[in-house]
Structure 1
Amino acid sequence: MTTATTPRSAIAPNAPSTATAVKKRPLPLVRHSMSLAKRSLIKTMRTPEALIDVTLQPAIFLVIFVYIFGGAVAGDTTTYLQFLLPGILAQTIAQGAIAIGVNLNTDLDKGIFDRFKSLPIPRASPLVGAVIGDVVRYVVVIVSTFVVGYLMGFRITTDPLSAVAGCLLAILFALSLSWVSVFVGMKVRTSGAVQGIMFLIIMPLSFASNVFVPTASLPSWMQTFVQWNPLTHLVAAMRGFFLGAPMGNSVYYTLLWCLGLVVVFMPLALRAYRKKV
């Protein structure tokens, strides 16, 4: 008795080999992180009220500080608006990074990460995807701040390329700072505690800086802290990109701060996440 054999090509003539299929796939971490970033964007679009803090807050700060303190600080509101807007943008975009820690802590309480844990995806994908998806918040901050600023009389005095570079630097800083928020969100028990702790970090950085007044006008004992404050360098760089003001090495210091935040807090956040889930 003879046994008929079917040629391998006749079984699946058009099916690619396993090795070829694997090569065509992108890196698993990148692929799954982008998918979860899309989930974060959909969640944001379905709850637009979650963007109130990054739309109304810069408008309120600009109106209050320009029209109440502008004359006292700079002599007139127009001059102070030109000085203040880059600082308000930097402050608001830094505060916008708080939301990601709050949201991740809420997802932990709801058990969503238990579902992610059961999926065949890299363990870091949910956190990386959440950070990437949060870019939309920073874009909204930039757009809303410039819209209100232009209605009040703010004008960029450099070229469009420099303005885009300033905005990209602000987004990069916010993405780096968001890993601090992610770490806090993984460590504390409630979303309210995340918000409270992050405000305790962001508010001193905002007011003990050159956001509202020049560094030289501050007390001498405070100027040392201000000169090392990452927001000080970010604001100085943004004023240079938007207004052509001298910025020295502020861009390089800001990039170093971004690198340091990622190198320190991204591994800590991932480690805390692994212990949490």
Structure 2
Amino acid sequence: MTALTVDSPVPPAKRVGPIATLQQTLTLAWRSLVQIKHNPWELLDLSIQPIMFLLLFTYVFGTAISGSTGDYLQFALPGLLVQNALFYTLSTAIGLNTDITKGVFDRLRSLPISRLAPLAGRILADTFKQVWAFALLVGFGMILGFRITTSFAGLLGALALLVVVSLAMSWMSVLIGLKASSPEKVQMIAFSTMMPLTFTSSALVPSQTFPGWLKAWSDVNPVTHLADAIRGLMIGGDVASPVLVSLLWAAGFALVFAPLAVTVFRSRI
């Protein structure tokens, strides 16, 4: 008799190298972006909401706050860029929670890929969407009369700073998305966090008009420093101090929330 030998399957590697992790992250980021093709409402939501806020704040509150819609547009558009970027971190949390609750991450976990690639891919894809929203809002604002009075380098610096800070702050939204039991609860918790931060800052209204106790909080609010930094880079004013403080806040958010989010992600996935 001839004995048949069957090769035993080769066990998958326990660790995925950094290059493979990067490739898998880019692939999963592309997956998130391609979904827009099958769900164009996502792109419409990303496009219509910023424009709606811009029109409402400019033409409803502009004259009352700054005396004219043109002056208010020049003041408020940088703040609206900040508000839109921070609010869009909610999309990262909701999308992440949806993938987890619908079992998408369970299917990805069965593949021989890095366990962090789905998380990193989602965050990277949403960063590209942030750039789209920034360009759209600035372009539409310029149609309404907004003017960049610094330089093109200042505009690029504003975009880079906004992406860095919103990316750091998105770890807080990621943690909420991992801990919440449903996308609806993610939206409720995250919106309740972002709304006070935004509307108690100088993003949309000069903080000098606030009561003393509220102005004291606004002066340390990270959204105030980020809005002032974006405003300085795009239309002039103090730049060094608000940029530095914004980067320090970004580092703080990343150092606190990124390890917590990764720990919860590893335990849940």
TM-score normalised according to structure 2 size: 0.90
Gaps of 5+ in 2: 1-16
Contact 1:183 1:268 in 2 (8 A): yes
Tell which structure's C-alpha radius of gyration is larger.
Answer: 1
Q: Report 1:52-201 matches (<5 A).
A: 52-201=44-193
- Name 1:263's counterpart in structure 2: 255
Gaps of 5+ in 1: 1-24
- Name 1:20's counterpart in structure 2: none
- Give the C-alpha shift of residue 26 in structure 1: 5.3
CA gap of 1:45–1:174, structure 2 versus 1, over 3 A, is: farther
The SS at the match of 2:239 is coil
Q: Which letter maps to 1:130? A: R
Q: Report 1:236-247 matches (<5 A).
A: 236-247=228-239
Q: Which letter maps to 2:119? A: L
What root-mean-square deviation, in Å, do the aligned CA atoms of Structure 1 and Structure 2 show? 1.5
Separation in structure 2 between the aligned mates of residue 70 and residue 172 of structure 1, nearest angstrom? 29
- Give the C-alpha shift of residue 246 in structure 1: 2.1
- Give the C-alpha shift of residue 248 in structure 1: 4.7
Q: Which letter maps to 1:49? A: W
- Name 1:13's counterpart in structure 2: none
Answering whether residue 36 of structure 2 is matched by residue 44 of structure 1, we say yes
The SS at the match of 2:146 is coil
- Name 1:224's counterpart in structure 2: 216
Q: Which letter maps to 1:57? A: Q
Of the three residues 204, 207, 217, the one matched with 2:199 is 207
The SS at the match of 2:219 is helix
1:115-143 C-alpha deviation (Å, 9 max, x unpaired): 12112222211111111111122012112
Contact 1:208 1:226 in 2 (8 A): yes
Aligned length: 253
- Give the C-alpha shift of residue 202 in structure 1: 0.7
TM-score normalised according to structure 1 size: 0.87
Runs of 4+ in 1 over 3 A off after TM superposition: none
Q: Which letter maps to 2:227? A: V
1:90-116 C-alpha deviation (Å, 9 max, x unpaired): 101110110111111111122111112
Contact 1:83 1:239 in 2 (8 A): yes
Bigger mean CA deviation after superposition, 141-150 or 203-212: 141-150
Separation in structure 1 between the aligned mates of residue 204 and residue 260 of structure 2, nearest angstrom? 32
- Name 1:19's counterpart in structure 2: none
Q: Which letter maps to 2:123? A: V
Separation in structure 1 between the aligned mates of residue 205 and residue 81 of structure 2, nearest angstrom? 15
Separation in structure 1 between the aligned mates of residue 168 and residue 157 of structure 2, nearest angstrom? 17
Contact 1:53 1:96 in 2 (8 A): no
The SS at the match of 1:86 is helix
